[in-house]
């Protein structure tokens, strides 16, 4: 149902990336060993000299499986990217010693802190090297808000932003992404044993068609329920994800003041 023409997808995203490669001194991206960051890396490799791409591999041994780090290193080496491995547990520990109310039991708060540490490191190197940060988020994650605000959501460009998760996997297969990465369950690795589909309570095979009908075709919940033969509650659940995460996709609201609030000289 959500099939893609991979040749056209690669051509369009490559043109998009080329436009920014010309403007920038190069790219910096986070490489996790997962499907989204790997596909993004493969696309970057098509349009820019590998010496102009820096991949940051940012594990926390407490939550990051060793095979994720190994897969990320293999991808960087395969594509001849420069890469750095930065253990973020030391940085997180520094935060924990400075925050009076720090608690490892606050899974979401600490998990989001990990994501924001990674964002800071990406922008440190982007500033240092006069490059831009290439985001790895896909359309599914963006629409349902499955990303950390000012964490993995803090990027300069999103080459996969118009592809649903299931479509990213299709594109990965076309690009020759290793099978172990294609089959790997999606996870932001913000806490131990975290898996995206378990946390969401739905698989992307279900989420993506619902998003397609809701967003692209603008059908109502009853129509979608009938078309996909799913309970209306499932459709409403996905719609709530979209509505509750709207703030993540918008700039912060500004309090607008009337002219009489200002005493400017004329």
- Helix axis angle for 35-45 and 165-175, nearest 10°, is 50
- Average pLDDT for 89-101: 97
Answer yes or no: is pLDDT of 265 > 90: no
Answer yes or no: is pLDDT of 1 > 80: no
Q: What's the mean pLDDT when you consider all of the chain?
A: 97
Output the six-digit token pair for 51: 């010496």
| Torsion over CA: 41, 89, 129, 249 (sign) | positive
Give the residue carrying structure tokens 């041994």.
61
Q: How far apart are CA 105 and CA 126, in angstroms?
A: 32
- Average pLDDT for 15-31: 95
pLDDT value at residue 266: 72
Answer yes or no: is pLDDT of 75 > 80: yes
- Average pLDDT for 168-183: 97
194 pLDDT tier (thresholds 50, 70, 90): very high
| Three-class DSSP category at 134 | strand
pLDDT value at residue 26: 96
pLDDT value at residue 264: 86
- Average pLDDT for 224-235: 97
Beta carbons of 130 and 25 less than 8 angstroms apart: yes
56 pLDDT tier (thresholds 50, 70, 90): very high
Beta carbons of 83 and 33 less than 8 angstroms apart: no
């Amino acid at each position: 149902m959500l099939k893609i023409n991979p040749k056209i997808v690669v051509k369009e995203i490559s043109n998009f990336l080329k436009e920014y490669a010309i403007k920038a001194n190069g790219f910096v991206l986070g490489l996790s060993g997962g499907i989204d960051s790997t596909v993004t890396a493969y696309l970057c490799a098509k349009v820019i000299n590998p010496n102009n791409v820096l991949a940051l591999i940012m594990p926390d041994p407490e939550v990051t499986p060793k095979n994720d780090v190994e897969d990320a290193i293999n991808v960087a080496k395969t594509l001849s990217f420069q890469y750095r491995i930065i253990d973020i547990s030391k940085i997180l520990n520094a935060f924990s010693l400075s925050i009076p109310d720090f608690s490892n039991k606050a899974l979401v708060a600490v998990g989001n802190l990990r994501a924001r540490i990674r964002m800071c490191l990406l922008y440190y190197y982007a500033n240092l090297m006069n490059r831009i940060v290439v985001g790895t988020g896909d359309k599914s994650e963006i629409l349902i808000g499955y990303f950390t605000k000012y964490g993995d959501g803090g990027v300069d460009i999103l080459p996969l932003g118009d592809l649903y998760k299931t479509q990213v996997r299709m594109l990965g297969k076309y690009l020759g992404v290793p099978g172990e990465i294609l089959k790997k369950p999606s996870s932001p690795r913000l806490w131990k044993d975290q898996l995206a589909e378990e946390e969401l309570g739905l698989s992307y095979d279900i989420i993506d068609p619902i998003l397609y009908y809701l967003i692209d075709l603008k059908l109502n919940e009853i129509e979608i329920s009938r078309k996909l033969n799913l309970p209306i509650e499932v459709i409403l659940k996905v719609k709530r994800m979209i509505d509750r995460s709207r703030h993540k996709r918008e700039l912060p609201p500004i309090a607008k003041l009337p002219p009489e609030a200002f005493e400017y000289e004329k």
